[in-house]
Each structure stands twice: as structure tokens, then as C-alpha cells.
A and B are shown apart, each in its own frame.
Chain A
């Protein structure tokens, strides 16, 4: 060891370990249902939505991504299309952005047709509107 190598900054592997861990655990937490906050959230969200719509628990998918400054909670709710009118009527709050993500699905607005006028064909479970809620929170 000479004088230069003594004063030189040694190789720093810890930041690499930190980043690798964060990346991997973000995936694993999603895969294993994460800390059970997610499972709990799912139950509670299902309960709240079930108060207003007849949805199956499986129609609600919840995902959490942990980031450096911001973590995102993604809630995806599938509701039979005719019922979506009710969602559009209850305009989303500013901090929640609701995205109607299936472009080919009928666009429904408060001025749109009434649920019962859509006919029984649209009530078919195959035609569903996806409502994605992205909630961003400081990590």
C-alpha cells in the first residue's frame, strides 16, 4: 500500500447493495402481497366499494411501488359497464385521478345514457370498464 492508495477513496460497494436491495424488495413485496397493509387495504377498499356496487373481490387489484421520494399505490377496480355512470357522476377528487383506460369501451359521462337504457347486452360481465386510481404519497 503506497501513500496514494492510502488516501484514495476505497471502493464503496454499500451503495450498490442498497440499490440492489431496494429494487429487488420492491418486486418481492408486490409478489408476496407485501407487508399485509396491502391485504388489509384490499379488504377495506372492497368493503367500501361493495357498499355502492356489486363487485367481486377479485375485480379489485391493488399494487404498491416503493420509490425513493414517492411511493405509489395503484388501485384497479373492474365494475360492470352500466354501473360506471355512477362513478362519473361522483366526480373524482383532485388528488385522485381516475383514468378510463379502455379506449374501445363506451365513453360514459354524466350526460350519457342512463344505465337501464343501455340494454341487457352491455350488462354482460365481458364488457367492463376499468377504473384506475393512482394515489401518490410521500414515501
Chain B
């Protein structure tokens, strides 16, 4: 049974696109048929983060408006056979997306894929509500920082009211993905702790992605962290999160690249 997952946050720059790409790769590596749908019309970036920017011909709006067939717009990943991307339009007006059009495309995608991952634009406007509209599951990406937590709270409210599932009176499945987390700083009282954010937002935790240089390196080269055969700390965190999405019960940890006493003593200063 196909599942529609929305990756959302309210605030921009917290890691929605990065997380969409990393989780998509992780799920596809596990053998699932996955499609990533970029809803950020006018500011598309998922293609860049996936390293597919030069392969975009048609986009979501072309398909919604019937100018292109879905099969023409889908870009199959060259590294992982079971992973595809449906890019957003960079030039078109975001009003070109209609509720009925999006519903039709999602329904068509559900016939072909196990996971449909919708990368939401920032904000709480129409683009964000369209991206979450048909979702079965939501991931709320949050940084341990006041403005991000506040915006996440707003988005959780929208997920509980503006989605089809909520309107049918069903429970919207929401998960927290805490990104850019620095366990050492949180321990020293310089950063909100996991427990603090969980207590405030009161939704279950999907994963904790540690702050890492690897994340920027991955977007620099257009290869999500989870693609690597020797997974870094954030990659391990995303791989675990993907397994939890598939229903596995795994112990929650904050993966770290630091090793041994030497790393613990001297790694702190850099934090």
C-alpha cells in the first residue's frame, strides 16, 4: 500500500530538502519504490541536492496542467534504480498548482510507488498546505532553536486541520526529525535538548541528525549522505530514521563521528 509522506517545517533552511533526499535514498536502498516530489515551485532545489539538475525536462506543473505525461517528467536516479524524482517548476507561478491537479498526480504516483515523499516549501501558505494535503504521514523537521520550534508548532496545527486525513477526522501521523543537533552543546546547556523539544512539541521522535560537515559536502556534490557505502554519522541517523518509517523499533541514539577519549576531549572545542 503506497504511503504519502510530507516533509515540512514552517521555517526555511532547517533541512527539509536535505532530509527528503537522504530519507528517499535510504528508503529506496531498502528496496522500496520511492518518488521524491518537489513542491517548492519557483525555488526548486531538490533536483540540485539529488544531483539531477541537468536532467530536468518537464516538471510537476507540466504534469498537473496536462502538458506532459507523468512518465515524461519523472527522473529516474542513476545510482539507485528504485528512486525517482518529480521536480518543481523553477519559472512558473505557484498558483498554477491546483488542488484537483495535485490530487490527480498523487493518485497516479500511488499506483507506481511505495513511498511518495513530498518536499514542502517553507511557510504556511498555499504551497505548504498543498504539499501536506494528501499526506498519510508527516515529518516535521526542526532545529533545536527557538524560531524553528515555534514554526514547527504552527505546522503541527496545520497538519491537524488542513490535511485530507484531518478533515476526515482521522489521526494525522506526525514525526519529529531533529536536525543540526549538537549533543555536546545541548549537554552544556547551550542548545535545547532533545527532551526539551519533544516536551514542547509532543509528537514522537523519528530521528536525531547530528550537526555535521558531511551534510554540506553532500549537497555540494549532489549526492545525499545516505548514498555512501561507508555512512557518516548523519547518514546513519537518516538510515535509522528510514527504518523507523518502515515500522522497525530501533533504539534512539545520536550517531557521532568522534572516536575515543582523544576525540571527546579535543572535539569539544570545535563544537
Contact = CB atoms under 8 A, between A and B. Distances in A.
7 contacts: A10-B190, A12-B189, A12-B190, A14-B186, A14-B196, A21-B149, A36-B166
Q: Is the interface of B mostly helix, strand, loop or mixed?
A: helix
Contact of B200 (A14, A21, A35): A21
* Top-5 shortest CB links A-B: A12-B189, A36-B160, A36-B161, A18-B196, A14-B189
B196 A35 contact: no
A127 to B, nearest CB: 36
Interface string B184-220: 0010111111001000100000000000000000000
Chain A residues touching B, majority SS: helix
Nearest to B166: A36
B153 interface: yes
B154 interface: yes
A34 B157 contact: yes
Interface in A1-47: 9-15, 17-18, 20-22, 24-25, 28-29, 32-37, 39
A10 B186 CA distance: 12
Interface residues of A, number: 23
B150 interface: yes
Contacts of A12: 188-190
Contacts of B190: 10-14
A20 B146 contact: yes
Given A17-B146, A32-B157, A35-B157, A22 B200 contact: yes
Nearest to A1: B269
